């Protein structure tokens, strides 16, 4: 079952549908149901002063998400594109450099991790592949347990990276206050399943798949989701797509917005961030751009949207992952309607072993 397409037209669609199982595998034995505690037995003692992430492509978007989670527990953290790591402030003894890499073989990421070790940092590989170069070379390895991914465009492994980074911060934080967050993680596989069982992503793709360009916006934890939504879209549909932090739209990209550039806006909850992103949605709506809101229905964003991609109510960190599932599906269906070779997009490789 792991190697065939199991009746799906493409590995990508199969892997999107494997997410509930991948997430269950990732959580298995790592969450103490009774104590509400996260246990990552495979890790040695970690108590970093600061954290630097290095990663490429989709894994970099997971790193941006991970860095925000670390900052939220009071540990300064920053994500670097691995090939740009040389410009970072050198880590010192009690700093941790985390390489996020599905394959564990990406040359840019391996090279940044080697540089980090050379500079004296402790290194941790967050990877899918047991025994990969990153796992072997780093001081510590934490596995995302997604199972093999064949499609070049990363899908289930991104979801598993997010949840693994979430587990890592919960493990380090060890606070009683995290019970709700942990409960949110436990609900995640069934919430993803609910989206897969009842999504209108195909209809959205049908309506918009011959647009001029596609924009994706989100704030906070939804910023990496906006970037990932756009990356997935361009990788497999070959259409021009860009992701932006919602607040940055007005500082340039807004000039590109027309009635023929759909804007996907990720808005969940009804707090300050949602309110501000809705303000940005109004700006694009005023330029006649079609707006597709990816939302849990907690705010009134629907009033300003042409379409809604619904996600179940959840915690902020799980909402990011759920919103991403809807965006994966839109990309998949748009690429399928355009008849693209979804599992093997031109010019791209699953694992890039040159710098
Ligand atoms: C390639 C793939 C991307 C992937 C990136 C990083 O460019 O096409 O989908 O995100 O490598 O891969 P890694 O294995 O390090 O996560």
Task: Give dist(CA 110, CA 130) in Å, integer.
Answer: 15
Residue 1's pLDDT is: 43
Task: Give dist(CA 54, CA 64) in Å, integer.
Answer: 10
Decide whether any atom of ligand 1 lies within 6 Å of the 52 Cβ.
no
Task: Give dist(CA 257, CA 264) in Å, integer.
Answer: 12
Mean pLDDT over the full length of the chain: 95
Look up residue 239 and give its two tokens: 């259409």
Decide whether any atom of ligand 1 lies within 6 Å of the 352 Cβ.
yes
352 alpha carbon – ligand 1 mean position (Å): 7
Look up residue 201 and give its two tokens: 């992503």
133 alpha carbon – ligand 1 mean position (Å): 15
142 alpha carbon – ligand 1 mean position (Å): 18
Ligand 1 mutation target, pool 162, 351, 353, 354, most atoms within 8 A of CB: 351
Residue 35's pLDDT is: 64
Task: Give dist(CA 153, CA 8) in Å, integer.
Answer: 16
Task: Give dist(CA 144, CA 158) in Å, integer.
Answer: 9
Closest atom, ligand 1, to C-alpha of 58: 10
Measured at the alpha carbon of residue 73, what is the angle toward residues 67 and 74, in degrees to the nearest 5? 90
Are 183 and 308 spatial neighbours (Cβ–Cβ below 8 Å)? no
Look up residue 261 and give its two tokens: 């550039």
Decide whether any atom of ligand 1 lies within 6 Å of the 111 Cβ.
no
Closest atom, ligand 1, to C-alpha of 57: 10
Decide whether any atom of ligand 1 lies within 6 Å of the 107 Cβ.
no
Task: Give dist(CA 4, CA 50) in Å, integer.
Answer: 43
Ligand 1 mutation target, pool 102, 107, 349, most atoms within 8 A of CB: 102
Task: Give dist(CA 59, CA 25) in Å, integer.
Answer: 19
Are 144 and 161 spatial neighbours (Cβ–Cβ below 8 Å)? yes
Give this complex's ipTM: 0.98
Q: Identify the three-state secondary structure at position 145.
A: coil
Residue 117's pLDDT is: 94
Decide whether any atom of ligand 1 lies within 6 Å of the 101 Cβ.
yes
Q: From the first residue on, what is the mean pLDDT of each consecutive set of 10 residues in the chain (355 residues)?
A: 81 98 96 81 92 98 98 97 91 91 98 94 97 98 97 97 97 88 93 98 96 98 98 97 96 95 98 97 96 98 98 96 98 98 94 91
Look up residue 133 and give its two tokens: 């170069």
Decide whether any atom of ligand 1 lies within 6 Å of the 68 Cβ.
no
60 alpha carbon – ligand 1 mean position (Å): 9
Ligand 1 mutation target, pool 103, 130, 149, 328, most atoms within 8 A of CB: 103
Q: What is the DSSP string of 74-118?
A: T--EEEEEGGGGGGSPPP-TTEEEEEEESSS--HHHHHHHHHHHH
Residue 322's pLDDT is: 98
Tally the residues of the chain: 355
Catalytically active residues are 350
126 alpha carbon – ligand 1 mean position (Å): 13
pTM of the model: 0.97
Look up residue 247 and give its two tokens: 């607040």
């Amino acid at each position: 079952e792991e190697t065939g397409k199991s009746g799906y037209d493409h590995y990508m669609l199969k892997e999107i549908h494997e997410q509930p199982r991948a997430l269950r595998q990732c959580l298995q034995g790592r969450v103490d149901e009774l104590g509400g505690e996260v246990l990552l037995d495979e890790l040695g003692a970690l108590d970093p002063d600061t954290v630097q992430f290095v990663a490429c492509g989709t894994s970099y978007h997971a790193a941006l998400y991970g860095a925000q989670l670390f900052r939220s527990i009071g540990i300064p953290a920053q994500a670097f594109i691995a090939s740009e790591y040389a410009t970072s402030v050198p880590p010192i003894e009690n700093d941790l450099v985390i390489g996020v890499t599905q394959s564990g073989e990406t040359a840019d990421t391996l090279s940044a991790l080697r540089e980090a070790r050379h500079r004296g940092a402790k290194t941790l590989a967050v990877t899918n592949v047991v025994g990969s170069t990153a796992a072997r070379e780093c001081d510590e390895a934490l596995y995302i347990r997604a199972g093999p991914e064949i499609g070049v465009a990363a899908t289930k492994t991104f979801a598993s990276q997010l949840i693994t980074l979430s587990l890592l911060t919960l493990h380090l934080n060890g606070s009683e206050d995290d019970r709700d967050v942990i409960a949110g993680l436990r609900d995640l596989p069934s919430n993803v399943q609910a989206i897969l069982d009842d999504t209108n992503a195909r209809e959205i793709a049908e309506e918009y798949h011959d647009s001029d360009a596609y924009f994706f916006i989100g704030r906070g934890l939804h910023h990496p989701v906006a970037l990932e939504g756009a990356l997935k879209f361009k990788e497999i549909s070959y259409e021009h797509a860009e992701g932006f932090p919602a607040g940055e739209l007005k500082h340039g990209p807004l000039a590109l917005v027309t009635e023929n550039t759909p804007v996907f806006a990720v808005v969940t909850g009804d707090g300050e961030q949602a309110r501000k992103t809705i303000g940005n949605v109004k700006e694009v709506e005023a330029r006649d751009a079609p707006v597709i809101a990816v939302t849990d229905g907690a705010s009134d964003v629907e009033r300003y949207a042409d379409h809604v991609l619904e996600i179940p109510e959840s915690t902020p960190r799980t909402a990011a992952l759920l919103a991403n599932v809807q965006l994966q599906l839109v990309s998949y269906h748009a690429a399928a309607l355009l008849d693209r070779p979804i599992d093997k997009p031109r010019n791209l490789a699953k694992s890039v072993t040159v710098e």
